[in-house]
A and B are shown apart, each in its own frame.
Chain A
């Protein structure tokens, strides 16, 4: 990379703005539909089933599932936002402009991942506000709540970006979220504490990275966690590092972009 040339902040801003504009243009799809589905979760799990479940770790069931639900949306939306944002120009061919522009890979990443993460963080906060209408909430560690929110959004936006670059068809674009991410999230303790699982399943669950995200996030709300917070944070950072390494490799080789 040439150190003499100044970074192209205008390009980052231009891409970021387009990405945000798309979110507002498709407000129904990007914001309202997740809010509706979250509300449905509250009605079904929180009220209908939750009324028959005792407190978990001293937390009312309805409140217990809030961090998990936020994470669920955060993960899936970060991935779909970022993967679509980079896949779409590849699909229609307009990516030529990005590739011929004087922008560095780092700037491309900051713009696209920044845009996708911003959208999913906004969404997470909207879900939090929606949840507050249904259940009493408390946030014991607001700083860590925001930290987990941002870290997760950025990490999974990066992950989505990788999928968007890798995918050659719309089917592949849906494949990873559908076959891997959704199951991992559902089995990641969104709706239960992993202590409720029988022995062997509890051990298996510990291999699920999403468990650590949800556990850490829930801790920031209620001060209670399935695994220690340090481990949660560590696992999130490990996943972030893996994503950064893959992205660095993609850009170094021009994988599926410049070949």
Chain B
């Protein structure tokens, strides 16, 4: 069995009648970094909260490493570390006390050396005797992560880990996520910053209006849905696209000085090489060219647009 989390048929309807999740089926593979993408209010946090035991689901079942989250909640929950979106810490506790508290709460025996290592890894060791209230926002975020890692989880949920976080901390966090993955920890992150998913994830799931609309390996997704563009800077402006090139989807811009060719990665359209040959044949000369892949963000936006 390779999936560490298995979600099947999970729904959530709030007391207000709002359907936050409609029939979610999702498997998370052991050791992967999975990015759950979706706009605000799509149901990302609700889904995570259900898996972590914070919110009761309306129906369906979830197992974590084979343990049912209701029947076997102790075994299931002790495998999971959660870093929620909001900075919610008891402000009057010291860093040291609150991280050790988290470890105890998850039933792990005290281990000062381990807690020290977690704090050092997150550059919090110097602050260990400070109260949480005195920490900066970035430090508080690190503290939330330290709490989640204090009990040596095998699965780590990062809910919008870099929302409102500065560049330096963001890079530190990405480095930490990669380190954890090398140790075999499975990581699930939600985000609406697509660059984050693009930089880190192995697989991407897109959720919208309480439904998973797609789950794909990131590379396949980019290959399948990604578009490429080649831009040619022309030596002399063209008034119109020459007849010999009509079979290519070309666009002229910047007063006829730039020619753009858009193609998807998987289509059977004639390739770049033949276009260049045909350009030469048509007597069109260019000064420079560059190509670019569409980003996950563009894919994401186009996916959401397709949704009715």
Residues of A within 8 A of B (CB): 2, 5, 8, 10-11, 13-15, 17-18, 21-22, 25, 88-89, 92-94, 96-104, 254, 258-259
Which of B74, B93, B102 is the one whose CB lies under 8 Å from A5?
B74
A102 with B90, Cβ < 8 A, contacts A11-B107, A96-B84 known? no
Residues of B within 8 A of A99 (CB): 52-54
**Pairwise interchain contact B90-A89, C-beta atoms closer than 8 A:** yes
Residues of B within 8 A of A103 (CB): 105, 107
C-alpha spacing A13/B100, complex, angstroms: 12
**Pairwise interchain contact B54-A100, C-beta atoms closer than 8 A:** yes
**Pairwise interchain contact B80-A10, C-beta atoms closer than 8 A:** no
Asked whether B73 is an interface residue with its Cβ less than 8 Å from the other chain, the reply is yes
Which of A2, A11, A15 is the one whose CB lies under 8 Å from B73?
A2
C-alpha spacing A99/B73, complex, angstroms: 11
Identify 19 residue pairs between A and B in the complex whose beta-carbon atoms are under 8 Å apart, listed by A's number: A2-B71, A2-B75, A5-B72, A14-B100, A14-B101, A14-B103, A17-B104, A92-B88, A93-B86, A96-B88, A100-B52, A100-B80, A100-B82, A101-B77, A101-B105, A102-B74, A258-B54, A258-B55, A258-B56
Asked whether B108 is an interface residue with its Cβ less than 8 Å from the other chain, the reply is yes
**Pairwise interchain contact B106-A102, C-beta atoms closer than 8 A:** yes
Asked whether B17 is an interface residue with its Cβ less than 8 Å from the other chain, the reply is no
What 10 new A-B contacts, CB under 8 Å, besides A21-B97, A93-B88, A96-B49?
A2-B72, A2-B73, A5-B72, A22-B92, A96-B54, A98-B105, A100-B52, A101-B107, A102-B74, A258-B54
Interface centre among A14, A17, A18, A89 (most CB of B within 10 A): A14
Asked whether B255 is an interface residue with its Cβ less than 8 Å from the other chain, the reply is no
Residues of B within 8 A of A (CB): 14-15, 49, 52-56, 71-78, 80, 82, 84, 86, 88-93, 97, 100-109, 147
C-alpha spacing A87/B241, complex, angstroms: 70
Which of A92, A104, A259 is the one whose CB lies under 8 Å from B90?
A92
**Pairwise interchain contact A97-B73, C-beta atoms closer than 8 A:** no
**Pairwise interchain contact B77-A97, C-beta atoms closer than 8 A:** no
B199 to chain A, nearest CB (A): 27
Give B48's nearest chain A residue, CB to CB: A100
**Pairwise interchain contact B88-A25, C-beta atoms closer than 8 A:** no
Residues of A within 8 A of B97 (CB): 18, 21
A-B contact count (CB 8 A): 92
Residues of B within 8 A of A22 (CB): 92
Residues of A within 8 A of B84 (CB): 93, 96
A10 with B108, Cβ < 8 A, contacts A5-B75, A100-B80 known? yes
Residues of A within 8 A of B101 (CB): 14-15, 17-18
Interface centre among A8, A15, A17, A104 (most CB of B within 10 A): A8
C-alpha spacing A259/B18, complex, angstroms: 12
Residues of A within 8 A of B49 (CB): 96
Residues of B within 8 A of A15 (CB): 101, 105
Which of A10, A25, A94, A259 is the one whose CB lies under 8 Å from B55?
A259
B149 to chain A, nearest CB (A): 13
Interface centre among A14, A88, A89, A100 (most CB of B within 10 A): A100
**Pairwise interchain contact B15-A92, C-beta atoms closer than 8 A:** no
Give B157's nearest chain A residue, CB to CB: A100
Interface centre among B14, B75, B101, B108 (most CB of A within 10 A): B101
Residues of B within 8 A of A100 (CB): 52-54, 77, 80, 82
**Pairwise interchain contact B74-A8, C-beta atoms closer than 8 A:** yes
C-alpha spacing A13/B15, complex, angstroms: 34
A117 to chain B, nearest CB (A): 20
Give B107's nearest chain A residue, CB to CB: A8
Residues of A within 8 A of B82 (CB): 96-97, 100
**Pairwise interchain contact A11-B72, C-beta atoms closer than 8 A:** no
**Pairwise interchain contact B15-A14, C-beta atoms closer than 8 A:** no
**Pairwise interchain contact B104-A10, C-beta atoms closer than 8 A:** yes
**Pairwise interchain contact A2-B74, C-beta atoms closer than 8 A:** yes
A2 to chain B, nearest CB (A): 5
Residues of B within 8 A of A89 (CB): 90
**Pairwise interchain contact A102-B73, C-beta atoms closer than 8 A:** yes
A10 with B107, Cβ < 8 A, contacts A100-B54, A254-B56, A258-B56 known? yes
